[in-house]
Every structure is written in C-alpha cells, then in structure tokens.
Amino acid sequence: MYFDPYYWVLIIPTLLFALWAQMRVQSTFKKYSQVGNWRGLTGAGAARMILDANGLQNVAVERISGNLTDHYDPKNHVICLSDSVWGSTSVGAVGVAAHEAGHAVQHAVGYFPIKIRSAVIPVTNIGSRLSVPLILLGAFFQAQPLVTIGILLFATVAVFQLVTLPVEYNASARAMHVLGESGILSGDELKGARRVLSAAALTYVAALLTALAQLLRLVLLFGRRNND
C-alpha cells in the first residue's frame, strides 16, 4: 500500500484546524444568538438600515432556509439571511447581517479586492473541476504537461481563497464600524458581534491554509515522482 507522508503532514493538520474553526463559529454564534440587542432590531432590520444609510435601496433583503447560510448575491442584488439571522434580535444575528450588508457596500463602492475575486471565480470553477482529473491522467500516461496544467489550475483555488481573506475581513470591519457609529449596537453588544465575526473569519483562514496545503502536496508528490 502506498504511503503518502504529505497527506499526514500537510492535509490532516489543516483539516483539523478547519474543523476546529467551524466548531468555534458555531459555538460562538450559538452563544451570542441568546443575547438580545438593546434596540430589539432584527437581523433583517439591521441589514435594511445599513443598506438604506448607504443609498442601497435597490438591494433587497430576503430570507433563506438553514443556519448560517447567509450571503450576498451581487448578481441579483439580494442579501440572503438564514432562518437563525433573519428574524432574530440577537447580537450574533445583527453582526452577521451587518457583515453581509458590508459585502453589498463593497460592490457598490467598487472595492478592488472584491472585483478581483469576482473576476477569478470562473477560472476557479474550472480549476476545481478539472485540476485533479488532469493530474491523474498526466500521472497515468506519464504526460508531464498535463500534470503541470492540472497543478496550475488547482493553484487558482488557492488564489481565490487568498483574495477572499481581505474581502471578508473588510466586510467585517465595515460591519463593526457602522454598528458602532449608528448606535445599532453598543458596549458589550459590539464586543459580542466582533467575537462572532472574528470566529467566522477563522473559517476563511482555514480554507486558505487547506488550499495551500493541498497545492503544496500536489507539487511535492508529483515533483518527487518526476524526479524518481
């Protein structure tokens, strides 16, 4: 049986970190989903308030099923808030909603990193689907050009995750700023929202580390085969 040391050294640690990050965001959100905000504002209400304050009346706020499935759809100009955020008056819900509103503002003002992320999405989609099949075909037929193309395509996944980091951190920074400046949250409420968003940010760090580890594994694994 073939033993792949790179899998144990590179992949397992990053997967464990990703699992920990996901558990942390779940537990942190659960904690602050039980803490109400002083204004009694719902997640949907907070998002709407932030959008209107930025002149984004054209952006809708809609409810979707699930837990923490919240996202901004730039194509249809819609903020989609999950069941646990939409009608909740918790500090956690308002923080998440404000974060998604931050993405809408990013698109409206032409935030440069989000433009880059949008531009690389089509390439990343192709890379994520074709990279591994090309690498395997190249290895099977000993066709190094196919392996190289496959690795380069997989690298686009890592690039996407790298560009995603500043986008997500900036959206959270915008959220915290507007929540404090507008008085939507204050004091310990702001601290709670910041903890929720900080925990969520770790999942994007984990996604980047996982992609980089997988890319490095492919380079080391198939580079070693070629040298052999």
15-52 pLDDT per residue, tens: 999 999 999 999 999 999 999 999 999 999 999 999 99
pLDDT digits (tens, 9 = 90+) for 90-125: 999 999 999 999 999 999 999 999 999 999 999 999
Q: Report residue 179 as tokens.
A: 């929540």
Whether 226 shows a pLDDT value over 60: the answer reads no
Question: With contact defined as beta carbons under 8 Å apart, do 116 and 163 qualify?
Answer: yes
At residue 3, the pLDDT reads: 72
What's the rounded Cα separation, in Å, for the pair 219 and 123? 20
At residue 1, the pLDDT reads: 47
What's the rounded Cα separation, in Å, for the pair 183 and 180? 5
What whole-number percentage of the chain has pLDDT above 90? Answer: 93
DSSP characters over the chain: ----HHIIIIIHHHHHHHHHHHHHHHHHHHHHTTSB-TT---HHHHHHHHHHHTT-TTSEEEE-SSSS--EEETTTTEEEE-HHHHT--BHHHHHHHHHHHHHHHHHHHT-HHHHHHHHHHHHHHHHHHHHHHHHHHHHHTT-HHHHHHHHHHHHHHHHHHHHHHHHHHHHHHHHHHHHHHTTSS-THHHHHHHHHHHHHHHHHHHHHHHHHHHHHHHHHHHHHHHH-
What's the rounded Cα separation, in Å, for the pair 74 and 105? 10
State yes or no: is 100 an active-site residue. Answer: yes
Instruction: Report, as an integer, the average pLDDT of 125-137.
Output: 94
What's the rounded Cα separation, in Å, for the pair 91 and 42? 9
* Amino acid sitting at position 56: L
Cα dist from 143 to 135, 138, 152, whole Å: 9, 4, 15
* Amino acid sitting at position 172: S
Catalytic residue among 62, 100, 168, 181: 100
| Cα–Cα nearest to 174, from 47, 89, 61 | 47
pLDDT digits (tens, 9 = 90+) for 180-218: 999 999 999 999 999 999 999 999 999 999 999 999 999
Cα dist from 152 to 40, 42, 54, whole Å: 50, 45, 40
